[in-house]
Chain A
Amino acid sequence: MAARTISATQTLEEFRTEFNALSSQDFGDIATLDSGISATSVVGAVNELYTSIAGSLAFDISDGSTTETISNAQTLTFASTANQVTATVSATDTVTFSLPSDVTITGEFTAQGTGTHTLGTITVAGNTIASSDSDTITINDNVTAAGTIQAGSTLINPNVAATNISNTTGTVRFGSNINLNASYNLIFEGSTDDAFETTVTVVDPTVDRTITIPDETGTIITTGSSSVITGSMIASDTIGEINMADDAIGQDQLKSVVTLQILNSTGTVVKTLYGAGA
């Protein structure tokens, strides 16, 4: 708004118009003064304002817990904090606060926005953390989760009383060898979660061993098994004499059994031999 002037060549009407504009626009309607100002003229209002300011040309600044008073003629300094916030004073009467490129938050950081939060190439959107330039997020330190960690259909549940590793498909697949460290075993709960489990363990190997489970459906036989081995499990012509217990084969086991009796000279049977027939 420039200062209004009336040149010598201007008409009275022009003067009247400029004057009215000066009165209504530049000075303003006196009726619009703040109600706290009691003066009824501009000068009066200025004086009243001056009186008010002159009595206390100071104001307080406070962070909620600490209050500082800025008195007349004092300088309000906006100090920057390295890696936290930068204050920049510029014309006109402007203070600009900005964050440096590298920001250090010494306390907790809360981003309440519900949109996407970005840390470099890492974005956090709601409950989702993602990388904008990779399909892999690397965590270089230990990860502790209070709740279940889910990777696709695979669940890792830290609850000691729960199923710690599971898969929503019902099958947990391992893409590598499973190596149970020393003194650890495979333990099967069975169909009932109770105090009884079946443990698969090994005698401490002294050299590398391999136990092969054959490509077939069946039940593993152990030394504790009884009355379970069937003839079809035994390869033909493989049972040797050493595998036969003494006094183990009876006549009922012989095919087309034939009998040879041995008699003494009086005709008394002293021994009966049983043999397989032709």
Chain B
Amino acid sequence: MAVRKPLYVVSGNLREMDTTMVDEIVARTVYQYSLNPSVALSVVASGGNIGSITDTRKQAGSFSTSTTAFPTEATTAEPSTVTVTYDKISSANATVSPTADTGKTWPVYYNASGQVQAMNLQDVKDTFLHPAIDLLASGSLTSSQAGTYHISTSASVAGSTEVSGSSTPIFSDTRADTSLYTAAGIPETLDQPTTVTNYYLHRIDGVSGTYTEPYFLDASNNIKEYTTAAFDSLIGEWVRYTAASSTDGYALSYTLGTTATGNTRGTGIADTILNGSGNYQQLFVNADDYRAQEFPDGTAVTANTYYLRIIKS
């Protein structure tokens, strides 16, 4: 672990950046990542590859009928569970070919001997890339996590962009709408759900902050200040590469489900369901038609809570 202090020029002198200035470059690295995340989630109709989650709800049991008397509760079908699978989030990693270190690619710093030395890739990882990935992979939802994703029950979140672009929920928690079931309506349609909560996938927007351009060695071995565009491009392609292809534990990925690995991103996705054993109802139609049916009832309970998690590995 070799965190370096890049050099910059103040009053014509080369000076080491302080930790605040290094943090600004790390923040800039995050911002560059947010402009074109290399681990990108999208909302698909189905077949998403980061995990499946299910919405469960109760539906009425099939009604029973008799020509002599009302079917008993015991003989009337119990409400059943309807399960809907959601696999609407897909992840894709970009293929990034970052600029190779020529020996003079990265910012310069004062080494222990007081010499001006160009950082190597490991220095850059330790100083900029990995701290940026650490921020991106955290469970917070600030601009320091720009370019990463989170779940919200709202289709519009300040500082974030809804990924589908059409407010398409990636999960809808539904429950049986008990108000729609009436004895008079027997036989009621079995599945009469109501959506309790929709969940949306958002990407956190980046915030461009200022930073002090560090200095590097040009082809003539002169100490030269990066242009903002050049350093942004360099650090951007490397953070994108790191997030997508790191082999030293700093690649990002997402999962959707109940596994506990990684940091949760946003609201937990609750699958709620009514916990009643069935609301037995009868309907006398005529002397030859006695009907009974069990409707969903009970209190909503959470059957499962799913999370979108970001994993650094």
* Chain A positions near chain B (C-beta within 8 angstroms): 260-268, 270-271
Contact = CB atoms under 8 A, between A and B. Distances in A.
A264 B117 contact: yes
Given A268-B103, A270-B104, A263 B111 contact: yes
A263 B111 CA distance: 9
Contacts of B119: 265
A264 B111 CA distance: 11
Contact of A262 (B105, B116, B123): B116
A261 B111 CA distance: 10
Contacts, number: 45
B106 A265 contact: yes
B103 A264 contact: yes
B108 A262 contact: yes
Contacts of A260: 114-116
6 closest Cβ pairs, A-B complex? A264-B103, A265-B120, A263-B117, A271-B221, A265-B118, A270-B221
B120 A262 contact: no
B223 interface: yes
Instruction: Please classify the interface of chain B as helix (H, G, I), strand (E, B), loop, or mixed, using the class held by over half of its residues.
Output: loop
A270 B101 CA distance: 15
B146 interface: no
B115 A264 contact: no
Interface in B149-205: none
Contacts of B101: 265
A275 to B, nearest CB: 12
Contacts of B114: 260
Nearest to B14: A260
B89 interface: no
Interface residues of B, number: 21
A262 B116 CA distance: 5
A190 to B, nearest CB: 53
A262 B7 CA distance: 12
A261 B103 contact: no
Contacts of B235: none
B217 A270 contact: yes
B6 to A, nearest CB: 13
Residue of A261, A267, A270, A271 most packed against chain B (CB within 10 A): A270
B111 A265 contact: no
Nearest to B223: A262
B116 A264 contact: no
A68 to B, nearest CB: 121
Contacts of B108: 262
Contacts of B116: 260-263
Contacts of B223: 262
A262 B14 CA distance: 13
B112 to A, nearest CB: 11
A262 B123 CA distance: 16
A18 to B, nearest CB: 149
A267 B213 CA distance: 23
A267 B217 CA distance: 13
29 contacts: A260-B115, A261-B116, A262-B108, A262-B116, A262-B117, A262-B217, A262-B223, A263-B115, A263-B116, A263-B117, A264-B102, A264-B103, A264-B104, A264-B117, A265-B101, A265-B104, A265-B105, A265-B117, A265-B118, A265-B121, A266-B103, A266-B120, A267-B117, A270-B104, A270-B217, A270-B221, A271-B217, A271-B221, A271-B222
Interface in B88-110: 101-106, 108
A105 to B, nearest CB: 98
A260 B116 CA distance: 7
Contacts of A263: 111, 115-118
Nearest to B123: A265
Nearest to B117: A263
A261 B120 contact: no
A261 B115 contact: yes
